[in-house]
Amino acid sequence: MTLDKEQKEELRYAALAALAIRAPSALNQRQLFNAVKKEVPFLFEPADLVAACELLRGFTPHPLVDCITADLGTTQCWRATTAGVLHVERS
Q: What pLDDT, on the 0 to 100 scale, is given for residue 34? A: 97
Range list of H helices, the chain:
5-21, 29-37, 46-57, 82-90
For the chain, the structural domain boundaries read: 5-90
Question: Is a pLDDT exceeding 80 seen at residue 49?
Answer: yes
State how far Cα 80 lies from the chain centre: 8
- How far apart are the C-alpha atoms of 69 and 7, rounded to whole Å? 27
Q: What is the pLDDT of residues 60-73, one digit of tens each?
A: 999 999 999 988 88
Element (H, E) at 27: strand 27-28
Topology annotation, domain 5-90 = Arc Repressor Mutant, subunit A (1.10.10)
Report the predicted TM-score, pTM, of the whole model to 2 decimal places: 0.93
> CB-hemisphere CA count at 13 Å for 90?
6
Question: Is a pLDDT exceeding 80 seen at residue 18?
Answer: yes
